[in-house]
C-alpha cells in the first residue's frame, strides 16, 4: 500500500485544548485486536485482501514517521484524504497511535476547500494515497513524501505510544456542513469513539470474522462508526459496489458473501428503484442498517420485506454523538415503522419542553442525550458548543415524542424549521408527507431565498417523467399540505445530488432553485410553480 504525507501548513495555527483523563486509545485498541487476529483479513478491496497484521504494521510505520516530524506532538492535527481502503486504515490508526487528532476529509475534496479546512484545523500534515498525492500535492504546493509502509517492519519502527490521560483527549475532528454549506468541526475523543463502538456492538449482531460491505465513506460519522465497530472486533470490511449503479451493490453482497450492510435512506431508495434486491437470494446476509436521515416508513418496510429473513435496523444519531443515539429493534419495525426506537446501551435520552421539563407521553419536545459518546464540542467555537451542550446533555435540535411503550418518534427539526409568511414549517416533515403519497418518487424539499423571502423548492427523482407526474405532485401538495407549506418551485430530476456522505445535498438543491428561477425569469419563461407561488 502507498501512503503519502503532504506538509506545508503552520503547525501552530491552532492548538488543541488541554484535557485530562485516563484509559485506552483507538489506535491502541486496534493494535491489540490485530495481534489477536493477525492472519484474518481486515479489509478487502477489489481482488486484494489485507490482513490485520499487515495493516497494524503499516499503522505503526505511519505513527513512527509522524513522531519523527519537527513540531509533532500529542494533539497535533493530521488530515486524512483517501478513499475507503487499506491506506485509510493504516493512516487513521497510525495517526491515532502517534497521539494525533485525525481530520478525515472526502477523497474528492477540491483544493480551495481543503486549504480552508487545513487552516481552520491547524493541520500541518496530510496523509493520502498515491492518487491523492498526485492531485493535491501540486494544488497545495506542498512537499510530498512517500512512506514505506506495508512491508516487514524494522525492529526500531515501533512508535512511542503516548500513555496516561488519553481517553478524554481529542482523537477525531469531523467536519460537517449544514444547510449553509459552511464546514463545522466536531471534536471527538478516544473515549467518544470507543464508547460509541461498544454501544453499537451491544445491540447489533456484529461478530469477529463477519464481512460488512463498506459503502459509506469512512471520513463521515456513519462510515466511521462502521469502520470502528468492525475493525475493533476482528471483522472484515469489504470495499465494493457503487451507489451510482445500485445493482453493483447487490452483486457485491452476493460475490463477497457479505453478512451486513449500512446505508443512508438515499442509498436504499436507489436499491429499491434500480436493483434486483429481493430477487436474488443472498444466503450470507444477516442484516442491514439505515441511519443518517429520516427514512420513509414505507421504504423501510419494503427493504425489510425484500431482504427477509435478514433483519433491517432503523437507527438514529448525530455527528455530535459520534454517530449513534437510538435504534429500533428489527422485530419492532412492522409495529412501529415510523419510530427511531429507544436509546442505545450506555446512552440516556429525554424529551424536554422549552423550559427544560420532561414532556409526557405523546407530547412534543426537543430530544436531548447524555452518554460517553457525546462530543467534546465544536472546534474553536465556544459559543456554538455552549448552545448545544448544557450540563452534560446534548440538545439535538430534533423535535420528538414518545409513546406509552417508550419508543421515540422524531417529528421535525427545530433548527431546520423556516418561516414562510410568518409561519414555521419543517422541510423534512413536508418531504415525508409527500413521500407517503408519491411512493415511486424520492422527494427532497429545500428552503431557498427568492425576492427577499424564504420559499420552498421540491425536487422529485423518479423513473416517471412528464406533465402527468408534475400534475400528481401538485395535487399531492394541494391535498396534503397547508397553503404556506406548498413549494414555490418544483423540478423533476433523474437522481438527486448527494453529498460525499451519500446524503441528499439540500444546499446544492437550494442553490439550484435560486439559479433556475433567475434564469427562467430572465428568459421570460414560466417556472413550474404551484398555485401557492402563482
Q: In total, how many domains does the chain have?
A: 2
pLDDT score of 422: 67
pLDDT given for residue 152 in this prediction = 66
Greater confidence, 317 or 20?
317
Q: Does 497 map to a domain? A: yes
- How far apart CA 281 and CA 424 sit, in angstroms, is 46
Is residue 478 pLDDT above 70, yes or no?
A: yes
* pLDDT confidence of residue 389: 97
Average pLDDT score over residue span 248-263: 97
Residue 152 DSSP label: P
Q: How confident is the model at residue 20 (pLDDT cuts 50, 70, 90)?
A: very low
Average pLDDT, stretch 307-324? Answer: 96
Q: Is the pLDDT assigned to residue 15 strictly greater than 50?
A: no
Model confidence band, residue 479 (pLDDT cutoffs 50, 70, 90): confident
At a CB cut-off of 8 Å and minimum separation 6, what does 355 contact? none
The answer, yes or no, to whether residue 533 has pLDDT greater than 50, is no
> Distances in Å between the alpha carbon of 350 and those of 21, 347, 394, 414, 416?
27, 10, 10, 16, 20
Q: What is the mean pLDDT of residues 333-344?
A: 96
- For the whole model, what pTM was predicted? 0.80
pLDDT exceeds cutoff 60 at 118: yes
The answer to which of 172-181, 335-344, 463-472 has the lowest mean pLDDT is 172-181
Residue 286 has pLDDT above 70, yes or no: yes
Residue 530 confidence (pLDDT) above 50: no
Residue 255: inside a domain, yes or no?
A: no
In a domain, 242, yes or no: no
Residue 183: the pLDDT is 73
Whether 277 is covered by a domain: the verdict is: no
Per-residue pLDDT of 222-246, as tens digits, reads: 999 999 999 999 999 999 999 889 9
The domain containing residue 173 runs over which residues? 1-189
pLDDT attached to residue 186: 97
Q: What is the mean pLDDT of residues 157-165?
A: 61
DSSP 372: T
pLDDT of residue 141: 63
Q: Check: CB of residue 92 under 8 Å from CB of residue 80.
A: yes
* Contact by Cβ (8 Å): 488, 533: yes
Q: Can you state the percent helix, strand and coil of the chain, rounding each to 5? A: 35, 25, 40
Average of per-residue pLDDT across 324-348:
96
Write down which residue in 168, 189, 210 finishes a domain: 189
Answer whether residue 466 shows pLDDT above 60: yes
Q: What is the pLDDT of residues 491-529, one digit of tens each?
A: 988 888 887 767 788 888 988 988 888 887 777 665 554
pLDDT digits over 185-210, tens only?
Answer: 999 999 999 999 999 999 999 999 99
Parallel, antiparallel, or unpaired: how do β-strands 365-371 and 377-378 relate?
unpaired
**What CATH number is given to the structural domain containing 175?**
3.40.50.980
Residue 346 covered by a domain: no
Does pLDDT of 153 surpass 80? no
Q: Which pLDDT band, with edges at 50, 70 and 90, does 110 fall under?
A: confident
What DSSP string describes 278-332? TTB--TT--EEEE-SS---HHHHHHHHHHHTTSEEEEEE--GGGTT-SEEE-GGG
Residue 221 domain flag: no
pLDDT tens, position by position, 398-453: 999 999 999 999 987 656 667 776 677 878 788 888 888 887 888 889 888 877 67
Q: What is the CATH number of the domain that holds 427?
A: 3.30.300.30
Q: Write down the mean pLDDT value for the chain.
A: 86
In this predicted structure, the answer to whether residue 296 has a pLDDT above a threshold of 90 is: no
- Closest by CA to 88, choosing from 100, 102, 75, is 102
Q: Which of 174, 189, 204 is the last residue of a domain?
A: 189
Percentage of the chain modeled with pLDDT above 70: 87
- Reported as a pLDDT band with limits 50, 70 and 90, residue 144 is confident
Residue 140 lies in a domain: yes
> End of a domain among 173, 189, 205?
189
Alpha helices in 204-282 (DSSP H): 221-231, 246-255, 265-274
pLDDT given at position 177: 60
Question: Is 455 within a domain?
Answer: yes
Q: Kind of pairing, strands 41-45 and 311-316?
A: unpaired
Which tens digit of pLDDT belongs to each residue from 369-406? Answer: 999 999 999 999 999 999 999 999 999 999 999 999 99
Task: With a cut of 60, say whether residue 21 has pLDDT above it.
Answer: no
Contact 127, 149 (CB under 8 A): no
Amino acid at each position: 500500500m502507498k501512503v503519502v504525507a503532504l506538509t506545508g501548513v503552520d503547525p501552530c495555527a491552532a492548538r488543541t485544548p488541554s484535557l485530562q483523563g485516563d484509559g485506552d486509545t483507538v489506535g491502541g485498541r486496534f493494535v491489540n485486536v490485530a495481534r489477536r487476529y493477525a492472519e484474518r483479513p481486515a479489509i478487502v478491496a477489489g481482488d486484494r485482501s489485507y490482513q490485520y497484521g499487515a495493516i497494524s504494521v503499516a499503522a505503526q510505520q505511519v505513527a513512527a514517521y509522524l513522531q519523527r516530524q519537527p513540531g509533532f506532538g500529542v494533539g497535533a492535527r493530521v488530515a486524512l484524504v483517501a478513499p475507503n481502503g487499506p491506506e485509510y486504515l493504516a493512516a487513521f490508526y497510525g495517526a491515532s497511535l502517534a497521539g494525533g487528532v485525525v481530520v478525515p476529509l472526502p477523497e474528492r475534496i477540491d483544493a480551495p476547500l481543503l486549504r480552508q479546512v487545513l487552516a481552520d484545523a491547524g493541520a500541518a500534515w496530510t496523509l493520502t494515497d498515491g492518487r491523492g498525492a498526485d492531485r493535491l500535492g501540486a494544488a497545495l504546493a506542498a512537499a510530498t513524501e512517500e512512506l514505506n509502509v506495508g512491508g516487514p517492519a524494522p525492529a526500531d519502527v515501533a512508535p512511542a505510544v503516548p500513555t496516561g490521560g488519553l481517553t478524554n483527549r481529542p482523537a477525531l475532528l469531523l467536519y460537517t456542513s449544514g444547510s449553509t454549506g459552511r464546514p463545522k468541526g466536531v471534536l471527538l475523543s478516544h473515549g467518544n469513539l470507543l464508547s460509541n463502538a461498544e454501544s453499537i456492538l451491544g445491540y447489533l449482531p456484529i461478530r469477529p470474522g463477519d464481512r460488512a460491505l463498506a459503502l459509506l465513506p469512512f471520513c463521515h460519522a456513519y462510515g466511521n462508526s462502521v469502520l470502528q465497530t468492525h475493525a475493533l472486533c476482528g471483522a472484515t470490511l469489504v470495499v465494493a459496489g457503487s451507489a451510482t449503479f445500485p445493482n453493483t451493490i447487490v452483486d457485491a453482497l452476493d460475490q463477497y458473501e457479505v453478512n451486513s450492510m449500512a446505508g443512508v435512506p438515499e442509498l436504499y431508495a436507489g436499491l429499491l428503484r434500480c436493483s434486483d434486491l429481493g430477487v436474488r437470494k443472498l444466503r450470507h446476509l444477516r442484516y442491514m442498517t439505515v441511519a443518517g436521515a429520516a427514512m420513509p416508513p414505507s421504504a423501510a418496510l419494503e427493504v425489510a420485506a425484500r431482504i427477509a429473513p435478514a433483519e433491517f435496523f432503523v437507527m438514529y444519531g448525530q455527528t455530535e454523538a459520534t454517530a449513534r443515539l437510538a435504534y429500533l429493534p428489527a422485530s419492532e419495525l412492522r409495529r412501529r415503522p415510523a419510530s427511531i426506537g429507544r436509546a442505545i446501551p450506555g446512552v440516556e435520552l429525554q424529551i424536554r419542553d422549552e423550559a427544560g421539563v420532561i414532556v409526557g407521553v405523546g407530547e412534543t419536545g426537543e430530544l436531548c442525550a447524555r452518554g460517553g459518546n457525546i462530543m467534546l464540542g465544536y472546534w474553536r467555537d465556544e459559543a456554538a458548543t455552549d448552545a448545544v451542550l448544557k450540563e452534560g446533555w446534548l440538545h439535538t435540535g430534533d423535535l420528538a415524542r414518545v409513546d406509552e411503550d417508550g419508543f421515540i418518534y422524531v417529528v421535525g427539526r427545530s433548527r431546520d424549521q423556516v418561516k414562510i409568511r410568518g409561519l414555521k414549517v419543517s422541510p423534512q416533515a413536508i418531504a415525508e408527507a409527500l413521500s407517503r403519497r408519491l411512493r415511486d418518487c424520492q422527494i427532497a424539499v429545500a428552503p431557498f431565498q427568492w425576492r427577499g423571502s424564504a420559499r420552498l423548492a421540491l425536487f422529485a427523482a423518479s423513473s416517471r417523467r412528464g406533465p402527468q407526474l408534475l400534475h400528481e405532485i401538485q395535487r399531492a401538495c394541494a391535498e396534503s399540505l397547508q397553503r404556506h407549506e406548498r413549494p414555490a418551485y418544483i423540478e423533476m430530476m433523474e437522481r438527486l445530488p448527494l453529498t460525499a456522505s451519500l446524503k441528499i445535498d439540500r444546499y446544492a438543491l437550494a442553490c439550484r432553485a435560486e439559479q433556475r428561477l433567475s434564469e427562467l425569469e430572465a428568459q421570460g419563461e414560466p417556472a413550474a410553480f404551484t398555485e401557492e407561488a402563482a
